[in-house]
Structure 1
Amino acid sequence: MRMTHRFAAAAGSLALALAGVCYTASTAHADAQACEEYLTQKGYEDPALDKGCATGAQGDLDGCIRIMTENGLEPLTAGTACVLAVQTAAA
């Protein structure tokens, strides 16, 4: 009985790990999308800002904020949008 429990636990852990890998791979577009949707809600629609979101989605928070502020976004709004991209990418 103990071996069955160990096998079930190991199989469950493996399934969760594989599900995480699949989820992470499928959210590559979704992370930039969360950032873009936030900016759209705030009234910003600019392809240059989409580039900032894509940079954040790659895990580059500083680069994302730099691109956003260079294109006229307030630092707080830029930071929030970029954190959304980075957090979603890391999730």
Structure 2
Amino acid sequence: MRTSTRIAGVLSGLALVLGGAAFTAPAAHADVSACINQVERELQGGEAPEAVRTACSVGYSGGHEECVSGLTKSGVTNGTAVSACKVSVQ
């Protein structure tokens, strides 16, 4: 096998592996980000505090009630908290 063919094969395989990792990794954070973004829209441009980020992460892990509770304790309205936590698990 020629060296150039071997290098091309290795680079193609590496690109597939890294591309697959890059494709799947953001999906894990996209849901938490959607939750945070929804809360930030309510805050009208303000950045979500760490408690909001934590609550959204809990919601992503399946703790919907804990997510809603954490967001409402952070000053988010109940309606926004429910819908933000709902998008965190989608």
Residue of structure 2 equivalent to 1:32: 32
Unpaired runs of at least 5, structure 1: 1-21
Whole-angstrom CA distance in 1 between matches of 2:42 and 2:79 = 12
Whole-angstrom CA distance in 2 between matches of 1:76 and 1:47 = 20
TM-score normalised to structure 1 length: 0.62
Q: Which runs of 4+ in 1 moved over 2 A?
A: none
The structure whose RCO (Cα within 8 Å, separation 6+) is larger is 1
Give the counterpart of 2:69 among 66, 71, 75.
Answer: 66
Whole-angstrom CA distance in 2 between matches of 1:26 and 1:33 = 10
1:49 Cα offset (Å): 0.6
Residue identity over aligned pairs, in percent, reads 31
1:57 aligns with 2:63: no
TM-score normalised to structure 2 length: 0.63
Q: How does 1:66-85 map to 2 (within 5 A)?
A: 66-85=69-88
1:40 Cα offset (Å): 1.5
RMSD: 1.9
Aligned length, in residue pairs: 66
Unpaired runs of at least 5, structure 2: 1-22
**What's the CA shift string for 1:44-76, capped at 9, x where partnerless?**
521111111111111111110011112221111
If you compute each CA radius of gyration, which structure gives the higher value, 1 or 2?
2
